[in-house]
Amino acid sequence: DAGVIQSPRHEVTEMGQEVTLRCKPISGHDYLFWYRQTMMRGLELLIYFNNNVPIDDSGMPEDRFSAKMPNASFSTLKIQPSEPRDSAVYFCASSPQGGQPQHFGDGTRLSIL
Amino acid sequence: GENVEQHPSTLSVQEGDSAVIKCTYSDSASNYFPWYKQELGKGPQLIIDIRSNVGEKKDQRIAVTLNKTAKHFSLHITETQPEDSAVYFCASLSDYKLSFGAGTTVTVRA
């Protein structure tokens, strides 16, 4: 079975550019989560969706960050404009009805120069 | 919000020995406690989980214990092997949101 698929795996861009990260959850999963992982702060939940609807975005650091889920098989996390402190590994996870267990993708390693 | 503390931050064991990682949580409403293993360049992979109505769960060489009164849970790996070397994270679920510990880097020496 295909797991959570994220793209791109690596992204290097210059400060000020728009960055779009993509996620395809496991088919049939109702929940989708976006996390950020850094050495300083560990794994942080940014936002999660239930049935394509954003439920809790309290972890989104600033208005520069936005996330969408236009359908059950696709979500994006966008940063505009990007800053060097946004450099991190971004993970997407999905889970079935009930919210657990969560299955993670292999992440996007983002570097903002 | 939920606060999860994890100890130790690093753990080195001889192959064949046991490894124990401990976590505490703060939200008494938390009811689900998964453990994840993360290898270099990969996402966290669920290895075992336990729900609040169970005190212990075992899966081959891995076991997890939960003490709800004390708000702590532990991961036990027996007969460690080199492929057990990774970063391990505990987590606590509250209101559909997972809060993670800071991670334990486990190194199994051959």
Q: Which pLDDT does position B95 carry in this prediction?
A: 80
Higher pLDDT, B94 or A29: A29
* pLDDT above 90: residue A31: yes
**Alpha-carbon Rg of chain A, whole angstroms?**
13
Which residues in chain B are closer than 8 Å to A43, comparing Cβ atoms?
44, 89, 100
Average pLDDT score over residue span A41-46: 94
* pLDDT above 70: residue A1: no
Which A-chain residues 39-98 have CB contacts (< 8 A) with chain B? 42-43, 45, 48, 50, 55-56, 91, 93
CB contact under 8 A, A55 and B96: yes
Which residues of chain B, if any, have pLDDT below 50? none
Which residues in chain B are closer than 8 Å to A48, comparing Cβ atoms?
96-97
Residue of B nearest to A57 (CA): B97
Q: What is the mean pLDDT of chain A?
A: 95
In a 10 Å sphere around its CB, with 0-12 CB exposed, 13-18 middle and 19+ buried, how is residue A29 labelled?
Answer: middle
CA angle A52, A55, A57 (to 5 degrees): 115
